[in-house]
Structure 1
């Protein structure tokens, strides 16, 4: 991840094109920095072409009077003067297609290790990292530079193009950097007095708050090497004067100021946040100091880059390779939204494309392509395939479920037999499960049993069953049945595999299924006789109830409940069935939707979170034609009078379409196949119910004495601890896992992925902790997270036994 040091200022140099003078301008910056008597490091990560033309040699030769303060380095050098992705394949003596191409990770680790070594060497200094070619020139792996370097996110200098066409290439390069979150501190280019691009670009970028600096161009290159070197030295001596003034020194001062301001802002963010922000789901009385505030400077992939305020060095001669930025694994997937990792370039481009084409446009009685395409793919080919006819857009999961409730209650009211009175319409209730959570809006809360999330206006409307749960206990896959059912069925039922437990159709004829049916029928008959309230809908979080404590529900129980509420012998008007898949949808649990697993279509279902890959809010409520027809008439009063100013906003819809495209590309890739094979009872097949988390890890965790149970599906792994049943208010899980947030190996804390080199940012639900991956998290990262969790909890477990 990114590096930041108080004593060492880092800037990366990108060019708007090839041959724009990156090395010339970087040489001038290096020379000026050295004249300020500070250590200067120059890194050329990749060099192609003859050694006598190497940029690092040029920098060292013309570093000026204080050349001894300058260190230059090249990490990957190839002889052929071609693009790096070709040069590595053409490396001399290597058979075609047999060359070992360094991966992006290897490449970035090499850069990161050099940066750390520089930080150890001096108490104060500058680093300049010069890229090759233009911003989109490929690196060794073929990934374009602007994407390959992005995890490191160094502050950037863009060297503009002073030649014909350079205005366009410079602005385009800047926008490419901006779209990927780069911090561009300055644009520097030559003052060409014919094209005068610097005049236009200065005006253009200054209006956008960006500093533009220009310098005189170098003299023409001469064939006489000695004379050329003499002219070049004279050029640098002229533009980098010893008086510490002039354009180049102004540029150095500006870059130094940008570095200082960045650290000052990061230093003040915790206090400013505590003074002005009201966080959701946080008791501010428990946030005791500024150190409790997680300052996220940036994010990439599965990681935050977190600022940790460090004290000033004890002396002017002290140095340290401890970066002020530490990588933290985002183990809550940022409240379950991340599906493809942070800052995915194609999602940023999709958002920018729609923002540029549409911004936001009104949606009632209108359409636009991003929304139409998304609606069609969700209804016809996605989770709505075979049952849904319409897609209704809203802005987040809570309002998506609120819409679903409005739809269901109206549809039931229209068809109810006997017809409902006005009073009965106002008093309709839902059937659900204890521990459900459908959002924070009032209607969504009213569809759940009273809980810690309830507010003063909360009026629970309905009846909620306590569900049987699924977990791994002491290595055994168990369905645990709650107390009210013990009289008719055993309290625990064991299964050998996930496939067997989640074979809902195969279990429908089991004695347990019959016990479920009998218990539900008797319970609901009693409710109907003793309550004036009419039940109108069943609302379920399929498979896992998230905010209620990551409760894995026996899917057989949910399927039987769906069948029961549609039984005309029990309900004269079948109840509407709502699946709240805001959390679980789009492969969070390894399946696009729980609908095929449960074997029963809903009337309404709700999707959000992963829908946009965690980039921005959007929700979609899918509904059957039966529900849609309940609102269809010639009267405006009969319409679904619910909407949002940003309904079907094109940016969200475009990003959602791109997200679904990316997910479809993952389904048959090797990491998914490998994970599915690990959870299969048959070594030659792949399990349909599976997890990215290793089965042996889950087994081992379940045997710890401090652990009551664990469970995992898809991206989700949960652990419930023993000894504290105070529910959501419990601090048990947080205390046991607190040390996992820290970076273990502080000597390499900013490595891109060195073992034990990152912290883990986690969230808890009372005595339950949960961890999530993205859909494309590498097995290597998951294994390191597993090892950190195991090491932390195994240590806690040993302490308990002692």
Structure 2
């Protein structure tokens, strides 16, 4: 991951194109650094062509006067003067051996390790330059373009501009390619061509964008005589070290130093500034008052944050940044890890075409495509007819409640006063967001409620599924059994989620009798009138990662839909109560399935998707509704319409990103790694299971038997571990205390999987009282998950 040292300023040098003078200008920078600093390091990760034209050899030749403190290196060298992705193939063919092509991870790790080695070699202020090959999108050894392959390192960049015909365009295009992938471009450097004068235009163009542009005289034409050419070139390089009125090499070097110092000061100042100005969500500021309590995220890539190392000192030779695994998938949003370039480009594509445009009585292509996909080939397939857009999961649920309660009110001809008394039927521990309306759809004593909260409805205590001491167990509360809490051992996890097979079981009868009796008793209470059933299917997230017995939810839906004698259940009309599925958390493969409807064997009347919907890049929510719900709002009277909306409803950027996300999800969920993870959870060879996890089944079994663990449960990307705690609940600190040791990387353990760039990593995690949960993206590698499992095991074992 990202590297940043106090004593070693590192810049990566990209070229706007091939043959723009990248090596000459890098040599000029190395010489300028050698002239003013105590040490300079130069790295050419990949070189193709003969040694006499190799870039690192050129650096050695023209920095000979400073050979005692200029150090050059090349990591991958190939004789054929072609693109690296071809050179490595040709080398393998000529050797007659089948040699694997270095992966991007191997390649970037070798670069990162060399940079760390250089940093460890010097205690004095030094500079380092990492020169790339060709243009920003020239391929690396694997065929991945450089701008993608080098991104995990997140090194500040010097862009060598193009001074030739067409160079203005290539330079601006290269700059935008770097910016789109998050690179910090500290300076643009190019030759002064007296005919095209590109530097003049580019200085003015980038001045408006706050980007430093420096230019130097172009080198003389090469001479035929090698000795004379060396003297001529040496004289040229010497001339660049003479201070001039123009913005030349020395001023460029000074600017790079200033950028480095500014970045160091900024990252060091962020904790104090944050404590002085930010009000965090879900944080008791009285418990976190010191700068060490602030996690400074400098950047993010893949499954990792790059965070400021709290313990780094001024004399340290280690990076001030360390990788930290994003163990909550950034509040459950990450789908393919951070900074996925396909999503970034999708956002840019829509921003460039639309910006933001009005939506009522209008349409835009990204929004239309997304609605059609979700209805026809997504979670709404087979039951939904309309998609309503809003800002996030909480607002999406506000919309769902409005739809459901209006539908109930109209069917029962309720007047305005009666409508205001309607409540919802839900489950204890549920959470649907922090806006006031959805707070009212949760029980009174929930920890997320506020002073204005007025619980409206009735909440059932749900049975839960967990793995206790190696056994899949359903725990049924006393409110259902009327004879204390009871536990039922299931045949297997697969059987537990085989709803059709369990519908005729004894437990189904117990659930049905309890629910029918409860709903009947609620009818006789004057102060409770229910207008909707609101569920988080299968897993209630914020309430404590409660894995609800799916049989209970299925029987609940059946009982509710059969409770109204005035309406007959059908596919074309809701009955009993409109059923809302809050799939903001669980939807779109977070728990290993696109939607919970097929597993439960029933479809909702309304559902909400968000979070994974846009891959973790921008907020967006979609509320899907059946046609019978939509038709409730149809009339000639505008007051009957769904008068609800947001300024950024169906914003094209979010919709385009969502379309790209859904397309990528299809590829991921059919990949070999994904299929292999599913197969590990098959109850028997060749027997498919509806439920599975990316986490290892043997690890889950072992953790469930540990002394500190009450129970454990997993589905898809989610792992929840409940600790034994006499003061269990949201306000408990037990889980946070137990897992505090995994925040920092284990520097001495090099055998474990490491982050992109080869560094051991810590784990960023969040807890819900005595429940610790960990979450991956859909693309987290098996090797990374096995390392996480090892860290979790050690923390639970007190090691």
Residue 752 of structure 1, CA deviation: 3.6
Q: State whether residues 477 and 485 of structure 2, in contact with CA within 8 Å, keep that contact through their aligned partners in structure 1.
A: no
Q: Name which of 724, 735, 738 aligns with 1:736.
A: 738
- Give secondary structure in 2 for the equivalent of 1:47: strand
Q: Distance in 2 between matches of 1:48 and 1:790?
A: 46
Which residue number corresponds to residue 317 of structure 1? none
Q: Distance in 2 between matches of 1:613 and 1:37?
A: 45
1:673-696 per-position Cα deviation (integer Å, ceiling 9, x unaligned):
111111012233543310000001
Q: State whether residues 612 and 656 of structure 1, in contact with CA within 8 Å, keep that contact through their aligned partners in structure 2.
A: yes
Q: State whether residues 113 and 757 of structure 2, in contact with CA within 8 Å, keep that contact through their aligned partners in structure 1.
A: no
Q: State whether residues 152 and 757 of structure 2, in contact with CA within 8 Å, keep that contact through their aligned partners in structure 1.
A: no
- Give secondary structure in 1 for the equivalent of 2:624: strand
Which residue number corresponds to residue 543 of structure 1? 538
- Give secondary structure in 1 for the equivalent of 2:44: strand
Which residue number corresponds to residue 444 of structure 1? 438
1:271 aligns with 2:265: no
Residue 246 of structure 1, CA deviation: 7.2
Which residue number corresponds to residue 428 of structure 2? 434
1:153 aligns with 2:189: no
Residues 746 and 243 (structure 1), Cα distance of their counterparts in 2 relative to 1, 3 Å cut: farther
Q: Name which of 661, 664, 668 aligns with 1:662.
A: 664
Q: Distance in 1 between matches of 2:233 and 2:645?
A: 67
Residue 331 of structure 1, CA deviation: 0.5
Residue 524 of structure 1, CA deviation: 1.2
Q: State whether residues 676 and 688 of structure 1, in contact with CA within 8 Å, keep that contact through their aligned partners in structure 2.
A: no
Q: Distance in 2 between matches of 1:160 and 1:67?
A: 28
Q: Distance in 1 between matches of 2:93 and 2:461?
A: 70
1:416-447 per-position Cα deviation (integer Å, ceiling 9, x unaligned):
2xx32432211011110000000001110111
1:407 aligns with 2:410: no
Residue 747 of structure 1, CA deviation: 9.7
Which residue number corresponds to residue 225 of structure 2? 224
Which residue number corresponds to residue 375 of structure 2? 379
- Give secondary structure in 2 for the equivalent of 1:12: strand
Q: Name which of 595, 598, 603 aligns with 2:597.
A: 595
Larger mean Cα displacement after TM superposition, 301-310 or 328-337: 301-310
Q: Distance in 2 between matches of 1:92 and 1:763?
A: 47
1:300-322 per-position Cα deviation (integer Å, ceiling 9, x unaligned):
000000012455445xxxxx441
Q: Distance in 1 between matches of 2:69 and 2:354?
A: 53
Q: Name which of 399, 415, 419 aligns with 1:425.
A: 419
- Give secondary structure in 1 for the equivalent of 2:438: helix
Residue 64 of structure 1, CA deviation: 5.0
Which residue number corresponds to residue 526 of structure 2? 531
* Counterparts of residues 130-529 of structure 1 (less than 5 Å): 130-241=131-242, 247-310=248-311, 312-313=313-314, 320-416=316-412, 419-450=413-444, 451-487=446-482, 491-529=486-524
Which residue number corresponds to residue 571 of structure 2? none
1:559 aligns with 2:546: no
1:610-629 per-position Cα deviation (integer Å, ceiling 9, x unaligned):
00000010000000001100
Q: Distance in 2 between matches of 1:551 and 1:579?
A: 16
Q: State whether residues 112 and 758 of structure 2, in contact with CA within 8 Å, keep that contact through their aligned partners in structure 1.
A: no
- Give secondary structure in 1 for the equivalent of 2:89: coil
Residue 489 of structure 1, CA deviation: 10
Q: Distance in 2 between matches of 1:39 and 1:571?
A: 85
Q: State whether residues 587 and 596 of structure 2, in contact with CA within 8 Å, keep that contact through their aligned partners in structure 1.
A: yes
- Give secondary structure in 2 for the equivalent of 1:65: helix
Q: Distance in 1 between matches of 2:527 and 2:426?
A: 18
Q: Distance in 2 between matches of 1:580 and 1:214?
A: 58
Q: Distance in 1 between matches of 2:387 and 2:178?
A: 36
- Give secondary structure in 2 for the equivalent of 1:151: helix
1:731-764 per-position Cα deviation (integer Å, ceiling 9, x unaligned):
1100111111012207989964588810100000
1:65-109 per-position Cα deviation (integer Å, ceiling 9, x unaligned):
323210000000011111101100000664679331000110011
Which residue number corresponds to residue 613 of structure 1? 615
Which residue number corresponds to residue 782 of structure 1? 785
Residues 569 and 511 (structure 1), Cα distance of their counterparts in 2 relative to 1, 3 Å cut: farther
Q: Name which of 671, 679, 682 aligns with 1:680.
A: 682
Q: Distance in 1 between matches of 2:120 and 2:796?
A: 34
1:187-243 per-position Cα deviation (integer Å, ceiling 9, x unaligned):
000000000000000101111000000011111123322222221111111112399
Residues 496 and 750 (structure 1), Cα distance of their counterparts in 2 relative to 1, 3 Å cut: closer
Q: Distance in 1 between matches of 2:755 and 2:677?
A: 24
Residues 312 and 722 (structure 1), Cα distance of their counterparts in 2 relative to 1, 3 Å cut: closer
Which residue number corresponds to residue 570 of structure 2? none
**TM-score, structure 2 normalization:** 0.96
1:476-495 per-position Cα deviation (integer Å, ceiling 9, x unaligned):
11111111222489822222
Larger mean Cα displacement after TM superposition, 554-563 or 423-432: 423-432
Q: Distance in 1 between matches of 2:236 and 2:753?
A: 39
1:445-488 per-position Cα deviation (integer Å, ceiling 9, x unaligned):
11110211111111111111100000000011111111122248
Q: Name which of 790, 794, 797 aligns with 1:794.
A: 797
Residues 708 and 751 (structure 1), Cα distance of their counterparts in 2 relative to 1, 3 Å cut: closer
1:95-129 per-position Cα deviation (integer Å, ceiling 9, x unaligned):
67933100011001100110111111112200100
Residues 453 and 528 (structure 1), Cα distance of their counterparts in 2 relative to 1, 3 Å cut: same
- Number of residue equivalences: 789
Q: State whether residues 329 and 776 of structure 2, in contact with CA within 8 Å, keep that contact through their aligned partners in structure 1.
A: yes
Residues 548 and 570 (structure 1), Cα distance of their counterparts in 2 relative to 1, 3 Å cut: farther
1:283-342 per-position Cα deviation (integer Å, ceiling 9, x unaligned):
11011201100000000000000012455445xxxxx44110010000000000111100
**TM-score, structure 1 normalization:** 0.96
- Give secondary structure in 1 for the equivalent of 2:65: coil
Q: Distance in 1 between matches of 2:429 and 2:484?
A: 22
Residue 794 of structure 1, CA deviation: 1.1
- Give secondary structure in 2 for the equivalent of 1:480: strand
